[in-house]
Amino acid sequence: MSKEKFITLQSTAVPLAVENIDTDQIIPARFLKATTREGFGENLFRDWRYDVDGKPKAEFVLNKSTFSGKILVAGKNFGCGSSREHAAWALYDYGFRVIISSFFADIFKNNALNNALLPVQVSDAFLKNIFSAIEKNPSAIIEVNLENQFVKLPDGAKESFEINPYKKACMINGYDDIDYLLSLNSEIKEFDLTQ
Amino acid sequence: MTKPKTLFDKIWDAHVVKQKEGYPDVLFIDRHFIHEVTSPQAFDGLRKRNIPVFNTKRTTATADHNVPTKDQHLPIKEALSRHQVETLRKNCAEFGIELYDLGHPFQGIVHIIGPELGLTLPGMTIVCGDSHTSTHGAFGNIAFGIGTSEVEQVLATQCVLQYKPKTMRIEVNGNPGRGVLAKDIILYIISKISASGATGYFVEYAGSAIEALSMEARMTICNMSIEMGARGGLIAPDETTFNYIRGRKFAPQGEAFEQQVKQWKQLKTDEGAAYDKVLTYDAADIAPMITYGTNPGMGIRVTDRIPTAEELKEISEKTSFSKSLEYMGLEPGTSLLGQPVDYVFIGSCTNARIEDLRLVASIVKGKKKSPNVEVWVVPGSKQVEEQARKEGLDKIFESAGFELRSPGCSACLGMNEDKIPAGKYCISTSNRNFEGRQGPKSRTFLASPLSAAAAAITGKVTDVRELL
Ligand code: SF4
């Protein structure tokens, strides 16, 4: 089934300089009760965003009007912990299309790529540059170019990132894995019989 | 001569349906487990595409994450939870999948029932929409957690698209000391290599200390592989494995079983096979462990002090470290011994098997819980619960003032009714101490069933060796 296509994005970014952000923080388990994919953005970072009474916490970055955009920039080992794809759905539903970090947990990376959310891994040093660029100027426009695989800051600083060619093609064309797997149906059937 | 291979490579290579330059491998999946939380959107996908389940015999379902652990015979009170479990029922009926629903004698936490029913076997590929699928690797198979899009892939095609991870060998040799359980071994390893130290790898555990473990203890080890970032962990099958499987409900029986065992004996890493990384630990260095922070890598021997920011290896971790201690309400450089706890949770796919319950009972027999703690014992499955009752463990728990509940994930994840209240400390045999994992603002100390039982008696963090 086709998904939103991703080629390049220019946007302001939201900085969240915390390491080891696990999927329980991205979306706590008690909000996983829905049986559809939509609506999880409401509870994105729920317990960091709201206090126990549901009041927004002013100091959390998503509640600061200074920062907005389709890019989330986060500390290393983003998306560790639970395999819940709801984390990717919540980030996407909230409006993010790119997550930049210096390291991603494996399952999260797959989940994101399967949901038109691009995980971009940059070096620790470049991540620092991004954070300071946003800090200096919250309306700094960051370019994430998937086609040519680079991230560019307003001052021209650039770093390239890696992505598997197959996944890149899926993102650019809006394909998903099942389309490919379904095309192999008869080969898989034969394989199943030998098991 | 063919190139020597690791056990991981052997199993992986035997399951690749198609390999194509620039594409991930198409990996055939022998066994697929599903539960109520990560499957509904996958079934919706099948409906939208108007396709059936590829092979219904290879998928088994149970309800575990979002179920109450009290009065399971009554309809679930909370509407959304009830709806989620009913959706699983409806989906399984519509697509023809076997479901071990609430009340069924085989119901339980998905990673506990697979092995105990003999559905989990050596040499297989196993997936589930749950990161602790790594548990099954204890039987010498490739088992890993997947997201819901991948659950849909498996339902639709019995395959997932995967890149082959790198391999890591973790060897633990020697004899662990008194009071040291499999949980302590794995918490020790994670504290050494950090919560992300094995990201991108699949781990094989080996060495004399691992070989000496029972199947249930090996499951505890493999279960927590994901807590250091690994996709999964496995242990080569041996007599311990075969003896565990023999006679299990869905395992091959009689002559067929003996034939299988012959094949399973081939499942080991060849002499001279290369791993991408090898780590070795001495079991004698391990003591009963406890975590003090908000990721499972933040663990110490219970007799050690919490580190100070200066003692941390990586400077970049310092912010997260202070944030974490602040959340936990703890001071750097202090000892956790004597720290009062409010709740004791004995359960989860890490430590809710019968051996865990027996260990707990062995310590609390004839004793009473401390009045300041509430203690929940939540068996991992109906079968574990039955067995505990048969052995009279329920009586021991009851007279100690522990509450024996019905099977489910319970307070492991703060999703169902069982939650630890804000600000309270819980010593827990589960696997994650993330902020809010056991309920909003709850504070978790991860530890072994013995250490948890000791804290239940004393009401505070205790070196269990003092009670042995
Ligand atoms: S017991 Fe906890 S970790 Fe295990 S499957 Fe359930 S929620 Fe996940």
Determine how many CB atoms are found less than 10 A away from the CB of residue B322.
12
Determine how many CB atoms are found less than 10 A away from the CB of residue B341.
27
Instruction: Name the β-bridge partners of B100.
Output: B62
Q: For chain B, what is the mean pLDDT?
A: 96
- Using an 8 Å Cβ cutoff, are A63 and A49 in contact? yes
Query: At which residue do the structure tokens 């697929």 appear?
Result: B32
- Candidate from B84, B348, B350, B376 with most ligand 1 atoms within 8 A of CB, to mutate: B348
Q: How far are the Cα atoms of A130, B2, B9, B152, B330 from residue B140, in angstroms, in the given order?
A: 44, 22, 12, 25, 40
User: Closest residue of B to A125, CA-based?
Assistant: B316
Mean pLDDT, range B135-139, rounded to an integer? 98
Structure tokens at B239: 């007599």
Tell me the per-residue pLDDT of A22-34, one tens digit each, with 9 for 90 and over. 999 999 999 999 9
Write out chain A in H/E/C secondary structure: CCCCCCCEEEECEEEECCCCCEHHHHCCHHHCCCCCCCCHHHHCCHHHHECCCCCECCCCHHHCCCCCCCEEEECCCECECCCCCHHHHHHHHHCCCEEEECCECHHHHHHHHCCCCEEEECCHHHHHHHHHHHHHCCCCCEEEECCCCEEECCCCCEEECCCCHHHHHHHHHCCCHHHHHHCCHHHHHHHHHHC
The pLDDT value given to residue B312: 82
Mean pLDDT, range B442-456, rounded to an integer? 98
Q: How far is CA B211 from the centre of its chain?
A: 19
Structure tokens at B123: 């040499």
Mutate to test the interface with B, among A18, A20, A121 (most CBs of B within 10 A): A20
The pLDDT value given to residue A176: 85
CB B316 to CB A187 under 8 A? no
Structure tokens at A173: 């064309």
Q: From CA B95, how far away is CA B90, in angstroms rounded?
A: 9
State yes or no: pLDDT of A132 exceeds 90.
yes
Q: Categorize the per-residue pLDDT at A2 as very low, low, confident or very high, splitting at 50, 70 and 90.
A: low
Mean pLDDT, range B81-107, rounded to an integer? 97
Mutate to test the interface with A, among B84, B159, B313 (most CBs of A within 10 A): B159
pTM, entire model: 0.96
Structure tokens at B402: 């522990």
β-pair type (B59-62, B31-34): parallel
Mutate to test the interface with B, among A47, A78, A195 (most CBs of B within 10 A): A195
| Ligand 1 mean position, distance from CA B65 (Å) | 7
- Rounded to a whole number, what is the distance in Å from the CA of A10 to chain B's nearest CA? 27
Tell me the per-residue pLDDT of B249-272, one tens digit each, with 9 for 90 and over. 999 999 999 999 999 999 999 999
Cα–Cα nearest to A113, from B445, B402, B163 = B163
| Ligand 1 mean position, distance from CA B303 (Å) | 28
Tell me the per-residue pLDDT of B411-433, one tens digit each, with 9 for 90 and over. 999 999 999 999 999 999 999 99
Q: Which of B54, B165, B434 sits opposite A81 (nearest CB)?
A: B434
Determine how many CB atoms are found less than 10 A away from the CB of residue B132.
31
Cα–Cα nearest to B197, from B316, B279, B274, B281 = B279
Enter the ipTM.
0.92
Q: From CA B69, how far away is CA B411, in angstroms rounded?
A: 10
List of chain B residues whose C-beta atoms are within 8 Å of the C-beta of residue A84: 37-38, 147
Q: From CA B65, how far away is CA B408, in angstroms rounded?
A: 6
Measured between alpha carbons, how far apart are the two ends of chain A, in Å?
29
Cα–Cα nearest to B76, from B64, B90, B92 = B64
Instruction: Name the β-bridge partners of A143.
Output: A10, A152
Q: From CA B449, how far away is CA B445, in angstroms rounded?
A: 12
Q: From CA A181, how far away is CA B45, in angstroms rounded?
A: 14
- Using an 8 Å Cβ cutoff, are B457 and B467 in contact? yes
Cα–Cα nearest to A188, from B56, B153, B159, B23 = B159
Question: Which helix (H) or strand (E) segment is B356 a member of?
Answer: helix B354-364
Q: From CA B129, how far away is CA B131, in angstroms rounded?
A: 7
- Using an 8 Å Cβ cutoff, are B27 and B159 in contact? yes
The pLDDT value given to residue B1: 62
Cα–Cα nearest to B320, from B226, B434, B428 = B434
Residue nearest to atom 2 of ligand 1 (CA): B412
Q: From CA A3, how far away is CA A176, in angstroms rounded?
A: 7
Q: Which of A1, A19, A24 sits opposite B436 (nearest CB)?
A: A24
CA angle B365, B368, B373 (to 5 degrees): 125
Higher-confidence residue of A6 and B337: namely: B337
- Rounded to a whole number, what is the distance in Å from the CA of B77 to chain A's nearest CA? 14
The pLDDT value given to residue B313: 72
Mean pLDDT, range A185-192, rounded to an integer? 96
Structure tokens at B281: 């630990």
Instruction: Name the β-bridge partners of B345.
Output: B376, B428
User: Closest residue of B to A46, CA-based?
Assistant: B440
Mean pLDDT, range B163-171, rounded to an integer? 97
- Rounded to a whole number, what is the distance in Å from the CA of A43 to chain B's nearest CA? 13
Q: From CA B236, how far away is CA B206, in angstroms rounded?
A: 8
Runs of H (alpha helix) within B50-117? 79-95, 110-116
Q: At what angle do helices A86-94 and A106-113 cross, to 10 degrees?
A: 50
